[in-house]
């Protein structure tokens, strides 16, 4: 390992906890591993440079600025989505409909029946409703980007999904788990 890489390793070994705390302080829901991943990413990028210490006058300031930029990038990348986790009216949430791992053979049979019912209910939706749910729920795409891409008003997409969720919920009401 060259002298500059050794100096970088020493810096990150010495300052690692402070750097991770810096990231966690700026991202409310950052787990320890998320913060450490961002710190490690900055460290790896510095190691890739030919001679980073020659290019950087103040290593500490450079690293903190890089971490701050990574935090900002991460916060910007978050995409809000409408989820099935909240029940729609008197209906079911997606978490209640889809199977859960484990359980007895009877639980497994009930889960299979719910999966079949969900599949049938999903297939009964119109093509536009299926496409919307697929894109929004399973691919994580936002209504705004779908509205732009499909050239369909945002309100239309929201109403379409609401109707689809209500139809799915009512079709699956008899398969609601009993606690």
Instruction: Kindly report, residue by residue over 117-157, the tens digit of the pLDDT.
Output: 888 888 888 999 999 988 888 888 888 989 999 999 988 99
CB 11 within 8 A of CB 59: yes
Could you tell me which residues come within 8 angstroms of residue 155 by beta carbon, excluding any fewer than 6 positions away?
none
Helix (H, G, I), strand (E, B) or coil at 150: helix
Confidence band (pLDDT; 50, 70, 90) for 67?
confident
Domain limits, CATH 1.10.10.10, in the chain = 94-175
How is domain 94-175 classified at the architecture level of CATH?
Orthogonal Bundle (1.10)
- Average pLDDT score over the chain: 77
pLDDT tens, position by position, 82-112:
455 555 555 556 555 555 566 666 776 777 7
Q: Give the relative orientation of helices 105-123 and 154-171 as an angle to the nearest 10 degrees.
A: 140
Residue 93 DSSP label: -
């Amino acid at each position: 390992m060259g002298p500059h890489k050794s100096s970088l390793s020493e810096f990150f070994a010495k300052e690692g906890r402070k750097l991770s705390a810096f990231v966690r302080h700026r991202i409310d829901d950052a787990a320890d591993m998320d913060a450490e991943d961002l710190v490690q990413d900055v460290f790896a990028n510095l190691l890739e440079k030919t001679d980073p210490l020659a290019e950087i006058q103040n290593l500490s300031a450079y690293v903190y600025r890089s971490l701050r930029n990574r935090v900002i990038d991460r916060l910007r990348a978050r995409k809000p989505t409408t989820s099935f986790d909240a029940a729609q009216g008197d209906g079911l949430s997606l978490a209640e409909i889809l199977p859960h791992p484990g359980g007895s053979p009877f639980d497994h049979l009930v889960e299979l029946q719910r999966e079949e019912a969900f599949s049938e209910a999903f297939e009964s939706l119109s093509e536009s409703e299926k496409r919307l749910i697929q894109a929004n729920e399973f691919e994580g795409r936002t209504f705004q980007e779908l509205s732009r891409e499909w050239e369909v008003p945002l309100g239309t997409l929201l109403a379409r999904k609401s109707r689809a969720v209500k139809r799915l919920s009512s079709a699956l009401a008899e398969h609601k788990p009993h606690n």
